[in-house]
Structure 1
Amino acid sequence: MEKEPAGTSTLDLALRALELLALENQPMALAQIAHALAASKATIYRHLVTLQRHGLVSQDPETGRYEAGVKLLVLGEAVRTRFDIVTTGRDELMRLRDATGQAVTICRIVDGELVVLDLIQGRTVVEFGTRPGTRFDLHNSAHGKVWLAFGPPALLDKTLSAPMRQWTPHTITDPERLRAEVTEVRQRGWAIAADEMITAVNALAAPVFDHRNQIAGSIAIVGSTQFIPSPPDALHLEKILAAAQSISRGLGWRSSR
């Protein structure tokens, strides 16, 4: 077996501890962290001390519990600003939410994975737990189908050649059926995924292009199939396509028509 590079496992454990604290909603005790990571308290403590020294973790002096440090937020915001589509599209996405009443998400491919960059909750009684950083599969999401239709051809080839997880009874797992749907998405300029990721949930997505006329991201409204039917209604289509074009223009895109 290939020997693991020296130090990799140690760094991996420290990063896992940092990710655990970042995703938790409340501070955690040392014993909780050690148990969650299947490591000794002594080992986890050494990592936490180092992370704390760099401002990535903070410890409550009264309870002794740990949580993500403010420096992690600063670093996250610094990286976030590099994704211009989030900054450029924020106001337009707010208007899209107000016009449809539905939750709005924006995604892009990061390191080969489809990642949620932002979520704006809708004005319905149901809120979505999707948070920035969430990964979506390409074959069963409206965002994913948009990227398969307008992204690099290698993305579609890779997806079609790999096993596709059956999330619900309506998830498309047949390569030829998915290829046909992606072709339709490319022709009409939008995608839906009713009941494909979660039963009774639908999304309507459209691509956003940059100054090179290449896909820079995707936006979608997300909600119950009661409010986002399949096929989508004319108002939702009008609003999502108008928002996508507006954000695209903000990124320097100019229609060739």
Structure 2
Amino acid sequence: MNVSFSYRCLTNVFLKQSSYKYRFRLHRFFCTQNVCSNNSPITPKESEPELDRRSKFTHRLRDGPNLRDFFKDDHLANQEHLPEEEVIPYLRFSKQTDVRRKVYLDVYGCQMNVNDAEIVLSILKDNNFEPTKDIIEADVILVLTCAIRDSAEEKIWGRLDFLKGIKRARKKDRPSLKIGLLGCMAERLKNKVLERTNMVDLVAGPDSYRDLPRLLTLTDNNQKSVNVLLSLDETYADITPVLYFTIVL
């Protein structure tokens, strides 16, 4: 009697526990499905309008203005809203005139200065200068210096004195002769060079050759011009050298 009663009690307890586990698992399953369906970012009714808005925004962003549209383009017809470029009267480059000024180069020292001379000529030719082999006919004489070879500095000082004599003997009916000192020695001796009256009109370092047209324009007003700033990224890679030079070793 007691054994049968105990067996029935254990059976009821087992069935109740199994029922509780089944109900718990079933409840958890439906809760999980409900949460997933409620957290869905796009419902079937909202998917098409949402995708349409995204598509429109993507097309507008792709076809909209970019950085290039913020710069002046000569090929655009409607540019009234862009300000006109300011023209400074005392910086009018010689390329705006029909007169081509003649330039003569003295190159001292290493092969690197020969390469620099070809770059200088290329820059000046694009600004209405032309090379000449006759130093007397030159309107501009540029001396490319070198600080590597022995006694190079003494040679250059002697050469500058010679050029100063040519400048004094120049006819009054001709434009004033301009003398420039370029290269690494020009950068190192700029203060010493400028202290000597009427020795040179401009001084330019090896990283400022692009600025030569502007520097020469400044000398038209009897003003000394100097640019010896160093640059970490100037390579003149976009300039095609002109194969013409005069070498003084």
Same fold, TM-score > 0.5, yes or no: no
The TM-score with structure 1 as length reference comes to: 0.26
The TM-score with structure 2 as length reference comes to: 0.27
Q: Which has the higher strand share?
A: 1
Bigger RCO of structures 1 and 2 (CA < 8 A, at least 6 apart) = 2
